[in-house]
Structure 1
Amino acid sequence: MGADDQGSVTPSITPDMVYAARKRAIGADLTPLAEAPVRIRDQYTRFAAELNKLATPKRAVPASDLDPSTGRPVTPEHLQGIALLADELAEAIRAAHTDFQSGSAGPVAMTMDERTTGDLTRRAGFRLPEAAGQAREVGRELRAAAETLERIAAVPTDACRIGWPVCPQHGNTISATGGRSWCRAMGCDRRWDYDRGDIPCPEPVRWRVTDAAGGDGLMCDGHALDARTRLAGGTVVPLGDEPSGRDGGR
């Protein structure tokens, strides 16, 4: 038995409960769990343990985090945890496919001709390799999202932080594909093993850029270089060379 944060009692989930839920879900006359092979019983035991982890809170969760109107805070650790579940799902699907291939995928084999049933049983599992691959891809995408969140959090608050990427030396010359990016300028060897457009610009600010209407902001070398080619009637001034009265803030 376990208790939640408010002191109420939550019943522990057992392998037999997982088995019963599966039986109800698929409507099949499964072999009683007590007579199941050790490997299958171990599988139910592992699933029950994972469900108990999810059902038992490890820390107090503010009510605002559970409010559907505000949603839950998404962290890299949260996404990594979901990725682990995707890995476990992929492994469970792979194991099920192995069962199909060996012809041990269900009690129906005991009620029909053994050879015919074995062939049909193996054929019924043809979707599983693709399903396992999709689960593994889900895990990879979740890890990539977690890495992006970590990079966003690592960008200094006083950096340029403009939302589109530049080369620190050549400006608007960045290309990206497949989660990697690089500078297109001839002779530039700058490469990044992530998409620079996924994070705020991390470069230090060195320039104040002011447009014709008087709106201004601080930019790094690369963004200031690009602003010079696009800005009509504005100014790009190095920090420290500004007119008296400017404090150099953002």
Structure 2
Amino acid sequence: MSEKLIELEKNGGVATLFLNRPDKRNALNDAMRSELIAALEDVTADRAVRALVLAGRGKGFCAGGDVSAMARRLDEPQDSVAINGWRRQQQVHHAQMLLHNLPMPTIAAVHGSASGLGADTALACDFVLAGSDASFSWGYIKRGLIPDGGGMYFLPRRVGLPKAKELIFTGRSLDAEEALALGVADRVEPAADLLAQAQAWAATLAEGSPTALALGKSILNQSFELTLEDVFSRGSQAQGICYSSAEHRASVKAFVEQAAARAAKAGR
């Protein structure tokens, strides 16, 4: 049986998803993308999972799209290149949207290189934890391409439009410290401790109400495109759901009981 290209581990409410094609620096091909979609759908459906860490096996996070597949595309009949490319793009975008919209906090644990689609995939997560050896680049321009994994959406929201243009138009590489300074990365940790730190951070995020996290994230992901009235409208609906959640009821009940106990103690 062939080795899985995506490995999924679950431990105490934290799922860790590994890109597992180390001999190709975890470059994403069609088979790997299909497994990624299946793993993300698994995590989405599993209510016991409260946070996700995305990491790469081997020496790097993800080298982006598989260039060997691009080379094979050069030999395809000219009349099929466009439609086949469109179909492939649909799968790319489906995977990225699943990751971006996952109803729980997500952390990309980036060690080594995150290039092209690999960098886009890191930014599709809520947070980016970079190892001290990490590098990020949007080198699509060097292949005569544009970012197709969400980079033109995610990157400007992290670094601003002019800086995003500069990084995309040049395809230059950022080391971990520059990535942190620009806002591409949210934290930097020693490479040797990266996965453990990411999982610990995920465990902390997982302590929050899953209902409030899912609903809050769904609105925050759209907040730059919404008016204030839109945010209030969607927020009021989400808050109504939160009012009826088990987590809210238990929290309020515990607060009231603790307050009553303190008052009784003070009155002695």
TM-score, normalised relative to structure 1: 0.24
Answer 1 or 2: which has greater strand percent: 2
Q: Which has the higher contact order (CA 8 A, sep 6+)?
A: 2
Higher fraction of helix: 2
Q: Which has the larger radius of gyration?
A: 1
